[in-house]
Amino acid sequence: MMSKTEDKTPKKTPRCPQCGKPRVQAYRPFCTPRCRDLDLGKWLDGSYTIPAVEEEPPDERNEEGW
């Protein structure tokens, strides 16, 4: 019999760049819509440079496996 353990512990826990909490897949790379909005607010504030394309580091693909 196979004992299937749902023990998928990632080496590194992706964090929300806004508050540092573990990110939520639905709102990645943030943890909540609020954090996403806060980050968007920075963009509007001119603190961020808006990139032409949204690039995702190849690293991210590993974390989407679940």
CB nearer to Zn ion: give 10 or 22: 22
Provide the minimum distance between the beta carbon of 4 and Zn ion in the complex, in angstroms, as a whole number.
31
CB nearer to Zn ion: give 13 or 52: 13
Residues engaged in binding Zn ion (CB under 5 A) = 16, 18-19, 21, 31, 35
Burial class (CB in 10 A: 0-12, 13-18, 19+), 14: middle
Provide the minimum distance between the beta carbon of 45 and Zn ion in the complex, in angstroms, as a whole number.
18
CB nearer to Zn ion: give 10 or 20: 20
Half-sphere exposure of 36 (CA within 13 A, CB side): 11
Residue 41's nearest CA partner among 52, 30, 25, 56 is 30
